[in-house]
Amino acid sequence: MSESQAELRGGAPTRQSVGWNELWLKEDWWAIWLGLGIVLAAYILFANLSSIRWLAVTPAKWSTFGQLGAHFAANILRYVAQFVLWAVTFTIALTALGYKAREFLPSFALLYLLSVVIFALGQWDQANYYNLEPPLIALVVGLFISNVTPLPRWLDAGFRVEFYIKTGIVLLGATLPFTLIVWAGPVAILQASTVSITTFLVIFWTSRRLGLDNQLAATLGAGGAVCGVSAAIAIAGAVGAKKEYAPIAITVVILWAIVMIFVLPFTSYALHLHPGVAGAWIGTSEFADAAGFAAAQIYAGYAGSGGIAGTGDQAIWAFTLMKVVGRDVWIGIWAFVLAIISTTRWEVATPDQRIDVAQIWWRFPKFVIGFIVASLIVTYVTSGVSIADFNKVANPGLIAPIKDLRTWAFIFCFLSIGLTTRFRDLARAGSKPFAAFSIGVAVNVVLGFILSAVVFASHWQNLTR
């Protein structure tokens, strides 16, 4: 049998998931259905003088094991109900995406159990003193388990980093006033575009100087400039890159994204940056949404203590505006422009690579639509409420429970990052791609800091409801 015949027989079938199919075959849409479903359910209960609060249970602050044990004893039914809620909804979504429920459910049970432990540890009254922020613990525990223990591969069915972070982002929309998106969005787009274009050009130019070809340079550049792994695979497809290039870009993105989860919040803390400024910096200089939320969430935990003025929300809001609104939504434009350049300038010999203007839409990260709609819904229903009533009624009855469920989704995500990052499995990137990307990282971090902490500092410090 020839090699091509073997490939024809051994490979997986093709699948069409663009168009109306996308509504049930892409995780972005499932994140929307799930996130908006929670928001609407919360609103309906709230409007009927009830609340989703009972389901949105979280570990309480504790200082002794006795207090912790008492909390779980009193709320065990709520945790079971919450687990069932997550398990059922995620199973429906992931089954539609092609996963097997019998593999997902035990995997998710393990994930939920570990998440409860990590969440509880983060609520210890000494956690801040020992830097035991839940995102950090989740990442370290996950990395340890996946790289040291022989975890079966089928368990990966439940470690869906992107699905959890997208669900969390849709829920986050419900806690971010739409007026704030309108007010701060243009500056976020200006700042993010400045840094993105500069970073892309630096990585691209350096890659070319080091002798890498155009497609690899573009894939690396997009990975560093736009939205990490997602951008790398989008641009690899748009320019028709060799099959080795996306894994190379993925490797360097993962390595730097994990480094930045530690470097950005700790440096911000050392510099006593305002949470809004730190969030903007992280949003400008982290490479993946999940990694960025981990870093922003870590810094949010420092807000209000240790000389850090401001609130944790400001770090999360600034990060989200910068990363999601400022960078992620433009990936379709990047793909379209680079596809034109690739086809007309770089690789005219490449057979018929399609320049498809429609990709601006079908590459659009649809979960952003859910994020905006969630923000519009909650902004609308709270628009006529006085500040006193908002703080006394709307916040505890409607917004805080959604925020708590969002925190769960983020912890699932942070833990999954570690559980799916097996360093031994990553492609060997080589020194030149790593060097080119690293130079881009250096420029990105410095430029991002100057814009966040100097040029637009007052803007990011004044993010408020």
Which 221-250 positions form the footprint of another protein (CB under 8 A)?
A: 227-234, 236-238, 240-243, 245-247, 250
Nearest to 444, CA basis, from 223, 234, 277: 223
Q: In Å, what is the CA distance from 79 to each residue of 58, 74, 110, 160?
A: 8, 10, 14, 21
Pick 56 or 429: Cβ nearer another protein: 429
Binding-site member from 14, 126, 305, 431 for another protein (CB under 8 A)? 14
Pick 95 or 458: Cβ nearer another protein: 95
Pick 9 or 345: Cβ nearer another protein: 9
Cα(343)–Cα(281) distance, rounded to whole angstroms?
Answer: 35
**What are the beta bridge partners of residue 124?**
62
Q: How far is the CB of 198 from another protein (least distance, A)?
A: 22
Q: Which amino acid appears at position 24 of this protein? A: W
Residues 420-449, mask of contacts with another protein (x by CB under 8 A): xx---xxx----------------------
**Binding to another protein, residues 94-133 (CB under 8 A):** 97-98
Q: Are 334 and 319 in contact (CB under 8 A)?
A: no
Of 78-86, 353-361, 387-395, 456-464, which segment contacts another protein by CB under 8 A?
353-361
- Tell me: does residue 26 bind another protein (CB under 8 A): yes
Q: Are 62 and 68 in contact (CB under 8 A)?
A: yes
- Tell me: does residue 351 bind another protein (CB under 8 A): yes
Q: How far is the CB of 3 from another protein (least distance, A)?
A: 9
Cα(120)–Cα(137) distance, rounded to whole angstroms?
Answer: 11
Cα(77)–Cα(214) distance, rounded to whole angstroms?
Answer: 57
Pick 86 or 330: Cβ nearer another protein: 330
**Binding to another protein, residues 290-309 (CB under 8 A):** 290-291
Nearest to 170, CA basis, from 100, 89, 79: 89
Of 40-48, 55-63, 203-211, 287-295, which segment contacts another protein by CB under 8 A?
287-295
Q: How far is the CB of 250 from another protein (least distance, A)?
A: 4
Pick 268 or 359: Cβ nearer another protein: 359
- Tell me: does residue 352 bind another protein (CB under 8 A): yes
Specify burial of residue 158 (Cβ count, 10 A radius: 0-12, 13-18, 19+). buried
**Binding to another protein, residues 391-420 (CB under 8 A):** 417, 420
- Tell me: does residue 363 bind another protein (CB under 8 A): yes
Of 19-27, 82-90, 313-321, 452-460, which segment contacts another protein by CB under 8 A?
19-27
Cα(238)–Cα(356) distance, rounded to whole angstroms?
Answer: 9
- Tell me: does residue 20 bind another protein (CB under 8 A): no
Cα(349)–Cα(24) distance, rounded to whole angstroms?
Answer: 37
DSSP assignment of 194-219 equals HHHHHHHHHHHHHHHHTT--HHHHHH
Pick 213 or 457: Cβ nearer another protein: 213
**Binding to another protein, residues 32-91 (CB under 8 A):** none
Q: How far is the CB of 348 from another protein (least distance, A)?
A: 13
Cα(439)–Cα(437) distance, rounded to whole angstroms?
Answer: 5
DSSP assignment of 77-128 equals HHHHHHHHHHHHHHHHHHHHTT--HHHHHHHHHHHHHHHHHHHHHHTBTTTT
